[in-house]
Amino acid sequence: MELMLIKIENPDHLNLILGHSHFIKTVEDIHEALVNSVPQIKFGLAFCEASEKRLVRWSGNDDVLIQLAQKNALNLSAGHSFILFMKDAFPINVLKEIKNVPEVVRIFCATSNPVEVIVAESKQGRGILGVIDGLKTAGIEAEQDIAERKALLRKFGYKL
């Protein structure tokens, strides 16, 4: 077995969700969950099929995001993994619905931070062991940091 670290290409620091599923129906069901949750969402979704043709299956409504998802999924080539890039929505707006898609097994991360994926490869195939989401913690927030955090949440409309 070989361990590798695969960097997710995300040049515009878009929000992304990386997950694991179990069936080809994932692509259509996640697509429906997204547009039913946030009708104006722009997204690209790609899913690594793990048997039969073993293709990167895809969907979306934004060509650039679709191509980005396809490229990253092919780089990962980890069976039954999916990657979603989005605009005009945040992961918090769609995570609950994605988690409720019957085929979704787990979410590895939902972020706009730099992501590295820890992948194991055997003779059979590849699997995701985990992710490195963002940068190492730098310290503990001070009173000013708390005030900035609270202001940001209110600016986005998540708190009153």
Q: Are 46 and 57 in contact (CB under 8 A)?
A: yes
* Domain limits for position 81: 2-155
| Residue 82's CATH number | 3.40.1520.10
Residue ranges in the chain assigned as alpha helix (H): 26-37, 63-76, 91-99, 143-155
- Please say if the pLDDT value at position 91 is more than 90: yes
**Structural domain contains residue 160:** no
**Structural domain contains residue 15:** yes
158 vs 129, more confident? 129
**Structural domain contains residue 91:** yes
Report helix, strand or coil for 103.
Answer: coil
What is the band of 16 on the pLDDT scale with cuts at 50, 70, 90?
very high
Residue 158's pLDDT is 86
pLDDT tens for each residue of 23-56: 989 999 999 999 999 999 999 999 999 999 999 9
